[in-house]
Amino acid sequence: MTFLGAGDEEAGEAEAGMGEPEVVEPRAVTPIRAVYLHGFARDALIEEDGLYRGAHPIDHRIASSLTLVLGQVPADTRLGSTLLSLPIASEEVMTRDAEIRVREAIGDLLDSGQVNLLSVRAFSPINAPPGRVRIEVRCENLALQKEERVKTFVFEK
């Protein structure tokens, strides 16, 4: 039996590789503890240097809880929300309904005192296509320094 390598030589008869390896300068990288989830893309963002944008683990949990559909993550079926099924109504009705859904989604963080819910706003933008909903959630992450605590999570469906 004959085995061929990457070239025209039989396996083991030619040197491995195609020349000298490229020398890459090392770079200082601080590993992230959690990825930043983007509410519009519903995906993790990658910076210009090719690394994922980091986020505090509690901010990551808030974003995951708000942007993922409740029950869609097999590893934790309690993670997520029902915000994406929010019906179109007046801003007052939508905001009230959204706040209930937000409190359900991040209730464990609120109950444990890790997060304060500051405000919720849900509405259908005036010039948006029919059925478009924008939801803005302001939270305070109490594990961060005072100047970094308040974040606004914005997403649309």
83 and 68 in contact (C-beta within 8 Å)? Answer: no
Residue of 82 and 47 predicted with greater confidence:
82
Residue of 13 and 111 predicted with greater confidence:
111
The residue assigned the tokens 């910076």 is 47
**pTM for the whole thing?**
0.74
Q: Where are the domains of the chain?
A: 57-156
What is the topology classification, in CATH, of domain 57-156? Nuclear Transport Factor 2; Chain: A, (3.10.450)
Residue pLDDT, tens place only, 72-111: 888 888 888 999 899 999 999 999 999 999 999 999 999 9
Residue of 16 and 113 predicted with greater confidence:
113
pLDDT bucket at 155, cuts 50 / 70 / 90: confident
Mean pLDDT over 23-41 rounds to 75
Residues 80-97: b if buried by 16+ CB within 10 A, e if exposed: bbebbebeeeeeeebbeb
User: What average pLDDT does the structure give for the chain?
Assistant: 84
Q: What percent of the chain has pLDDT over 90?
A: 41
Q: What is the DSSP string of 10-67?
A: BTTSS-SSSSSPPP------PPPSSBPEETTTTEE-B-TTSPBPB--HHHHHHHHHHH
Statement: residue 69 has pLDDT above 90: no
